[in-house]
Structure formats: C-alpha cells, structure tokens
Structure 1
Amino acid sequence: MTLAAALAAGAAQTQTQAQAQALAKLNVVAFAGASNLAIWAGQQQGIFARHGLEVALELTPNSRAMASDLYSGKYDLALTSVDNIVAYNEGQGEARLPGPSDFTAFFGVDDGMLSVMAAADVPDLAALRGKVVSVDAMTTGFAFVLREVLGQAGIADQVEWVAVGGGAQRLAALLEGKQAATLLNTPLDLAAEARGFRRLARGRDAVGAYQGIVAAARRGTLAAKRDQLIGFTRGFRESLVWLDANRAEAAGILTARANMPPPVAARAATALLDPERGIFRDLRIDEAGLRTVLRLRSKYAQPQKELTDIARYIDPSIRAATFG
C-alpha cells in the first residue's frame, strides 16, 4: 500500500508538472486597485489555468516604470489607466521610450473609481489652499482629474503639487502625513477612510463619464499572443462571475492579498463588485468616458494637442472574440 501510494503521488506530481508546462505564461503588470481582485481570484480558483494560462502579476511603482516595462517586453500586458495609453501614443509620456509607442487598450475595467482623499483636519476642497497635494506624475490622467476637481473649486493654482508615484505610494505618503490630499481609487480610498481620512469629492461627480483602468498591450503582442489574450479576457470575465457569487471569499482575498483588515475588505469587495459603480461586467471601454480622458488631456497636457479620435487607442477585436 505504501508503494502504491508513493507511485500514485509520483504520478500526480508528474501530471501537475506536465500541466504547468503546458500553460502559456502571461506576465501582467498593474497598479494597486480594482483590477487585481479579479486576477487574484482567477489565479486562486484556477480559472486562468482552465484557459491554458499561467498569469503572473506584479505591481508597478508608477506610470513611468509601467510604460518602460511594457514597451521593453518585460510584461505582455498592463492594467493601467487608458490615459497612459493615450499619453505615450501621443509622445506626452514622462518616460523616454526607445521608439514610438504602439500601446492599445483591448478591454475596460472601471471608471477609475476615483476620490479626493484628505487628512481629517481638511474639511473641504477650499481648505486645501496652500497645502501639499500629491499625484503619480503631473502628466497623467488621474492628475488631470485632480487638477480639474481643484480647478472647479478655484484652487488648482493655489496648492503645492508633488509627484509621489502610484496609488499605493500615494496612500502611504498620505497616511504618513507627507501630503494633505491625493486622488485614490477603490479600494485604496476605503483604506484611507478606515484610518480617519476624509473623502472630499468623487471624480465622477466632477468630470462625468470617465474611462479609468483598461487592459492594454503593444500591438505586436496583440497579434503574436492573440489566443492567450482572448483566454485572459475570458478568464478575467469568469473571475468576476465567481466573485459575484462568492462575496465573502472576495473579501477574504482582499484581506490576504492586499493586507486589508476584514471590515475594510468587506466594504471594498462590496464597492468593487457593485453592478452600477464597480468593475465593468461587460469589460467595455466606455466611449463617452474615453472622450472625457481626451478632453482633459487636450486641456492640460504638454505639448498641447487637440485629441478627438478614440479609435487611435483601442482594439475591440479581443473583447469581441471573448463575447462572440
């Protein structure tokens, strides 16, 4: 019996190794935020593996590193703001790439789920006058949203702007008291709120429809790894279905993977999986929201350009194959 058990165990191990070798690896880079919940669930539940994929996820410190690493081929795809795609394709990105950018978005994740979060002693936007406010980099779309929010309050030119990095870095700096306010997406806004920080405004209330995070790749990768990217998109969608049906487990994933206290993780899962305001179930790229992105970039970016053609930045064929 012992020999039989050993042989069975060996056979199972060999089968597992063979299955792992058969999986196509996709290297994914993302910021801390909504999109990672679906990836973590898909990894944990073997959903991506059922589509023949091993998905390796790493978090990036900022948009400059994301663009450089995606361009170099270190990562096959990125979950990033669609504004980053526009910026580099228009020659307005902060990182200096070796050649022209050919980034393109192939499905959408959310509307950014953005909020202006501030220290507890800042009662409203007007009270930010003369204080330090942080962004990822001054040339990014989320920075433009914050500039628009503060501009509508009449104080955009009356704060001190500092570039800190991605959402995780901005949250840490905010919690340490290094800045008075910043723009955070969900679930980072809830982590700040749980620590006593104040929500001063929601991005969608100031700018209207907005396309936030998208899945994006270089056009050459879209062609070379089309089947894998379709599998990833299907796996991402199926992970959302699983999360909808397993809300408690969703919160548990956030506790384990994002180091969130259980009460905060439960609130975050509810927000991320809200059918109206959370992650897009149909993975759409919201055309009205993308037009807002172009409008804000046309207003704030340098060198200044009037951007109107949304088709330059998206490839709908992967999503169409997923839902077809």
Structure 2
Amino acid sequence: MIHDLLVSGVTVFPGREHFEFVPGINVVVGGNDSGKSHLLKLCYTVAKWSADGGRKSLPEKWAEEQRLRKDLMRVFASRGLAGLTARNRGNAHARVEASMEGDGVPEGMGNLVFDFQAGHEEEGLSIREMPRRFLNVPVVFLAAREVLTIYPSFVQVGSRFPEFLDGGSWDLCRYLDMEAEAEPISTDAGRVVARLEKIIGGKVVKRDGRFFLQRPGQQPIEMSLVAEGFKRLGTLSYLIRNGSVKKGSVLFWDEPEMNLNASHLPVLVKTLTGLAKTGVQVILSSHSLFLLRELMIQLSEPRNAMVQRKFFGMSVPRGERSGVRVSWGESLEDVGPVESLEAEIEQADRYLKLSYES
C-alpha cells in the first residue's frame, strides 16, 4: 500500500509537498483545479508500476524507467513528461519519492525515487532508487468516466492500440476481464457487495463480452440504460466479486459521489468503511460537503473506531496561481478552510436566514 509520497515540481506542486497515507480511508478534499485528481493519478501510477513490476523477475533499471515513463504519460493522458512538470511556475524539474509497503514488502523495501526534467532529450526519466521488492496486490482506479458501457470498444481498441487509451480506463477494463477467484469472497466483502447491489437494485453480469444489470424478475438491462451513478457502484461490486478489490489491494476513487442522490451517500460511506475493515486501502477525492460530513459522522461511531483515517485539504489561495496549499489531519476540521466547502456552508447559512426571516 502507499505509505508516503513526496513530490516537488510536479503539475500543481511547484514546491516540496509530503503526503503520508494510512491503511484505512484517505480523503483528498478540494475544489476544481486544486490538484485532487493529479494527486490520485500520481499515487495510482506509482502503485500500479510497482504492482506490475511484481510480476517480473530481475527487472532491468533502464526498462523500468521506460515503463514508468510510459505509465505516467498514459495515466495523465499526456504526450510527454514536459506537461507534468511545474515549469509554468518557474520549475522544470520534477522529483517523486514514494514509500510502499504490503504483504511481502516490509518497510523500506518498496521505496521508489525518480525524477524527470522537461526540455531534455526524450524528456528522460531517471530512477534514483529502485524498490528491492515490488507490490503484489491489485491496484484499481475508478475515475469519473465509467467504463461498463464502453467496455467492448475499449477492449477491442486496447488489445491492439493500448497507447490510444488513458491508462486508468484500460487498466480497469483488464480487471473487469478477470474471472472470479476460486475461493469465495469473505463474509465482510459479501456485505459490502450486498449494500451496493441494494442501491442499484440488482447484480452486474457479463455476457458475450458486454455488461448488463440483472434485476430480479426482469430481463437484463443494457448498461447504457442504467443511471450514470449506478454504473460506477456496479463496477465496484463486480470488482469485489471477482477478487480485484480485496484485502491488501488499493482502491483509488475520484469523486465517488458523482451522479448519486444524497440519499445514497450514507450507504456509500458505509461501503467505504466496510472496505477499509476488510483490509482495502481506500484513497478518494471529493468536494461534496454532504459526503464528507457523512464520513465524519460514521467514522465517529464506535463500530468504526478501528478504521484509520486521514484527510488532506487542497486549495488555491485567491489571487495566487503559484501552487496549492496542502493541509492534513484526522478530521475534516483539521484541514482548515477549503474554498469549495466554505461556499456550501455559506449558502446554507443564507438559506437558513431566508427561511427564518420568512
């Protein structure tokens, strides 16, 4: 799992920023253009690179540098590494230091340090410290784009021209293509699946290379006809059932509240805490005040006392474009004021005042 990440000169991080993640639930809070998705994508790329490296024996450093460079460009959908540096803020050199731990990867054995610089020949990426052991766990990224509907096209194109697809979506299709493991999922994981399937009203099934929603007593429904918010919930339930999201794995989820009614968010939060209890490291981003408050409410309950949590607040000070401000803590209050959340609170106060006056 991701333990530490230090970045400098990468996209919205011109200065040195340190992120320390916990094994349970990690929440990145911020508004548009605050760098939430960039942080998730960078963490995902590093973890994915390590997990894929675990399938190899005696990896060569030069080959791993090329693979990491390729992964970065594909996940960020960038034509080159130059676009990933903070050069527009006067810094064209980027450096990333990551610490990863997991089953068979004790502390200090999974460290990765690399840097790259725009303007150099082939925008060369150099690995300064190679992991002595690689992760051997699934690393899943649920982005804003749902893939169940476009899965057949993605698989057809990706099998021949994977460079044409963004890395996160193509990797997700590969996990969706996996058959269920021989051993049944755990009882706790089964409860999580049951909650998700209760929201969407059925079970996601795959037939002849296409996905459908099977509801009791009905014909299978094509995924293109299913509500947008339900598609990503269905994707997660399918990945838990086929063993892609399980104990020891890492789940990245960009704005899980997207296209969901507020009435579904308490169950969604219960799903996230349930995954953390099964041993899944959850790293998500959000700017939904409702979801974040629901997280705080449920995490304060005794049944979730053992769930480790970390909040990261990311915001761009008004009138400044020199980079984001990062704060962190074990509660939403610890991250300080975040502009996107303050706007919701201020509107709620105005609405209550209006109702009181009327």
- TM-score normalized with structure 2 length: 0.25
More helix by share: 1
Superposition TM-score, scaled by structure 1 size: 0.27
More strand by share: 2
Larger RCO: 1 or 2 (CA < 8 Å, sep 6+) = 1
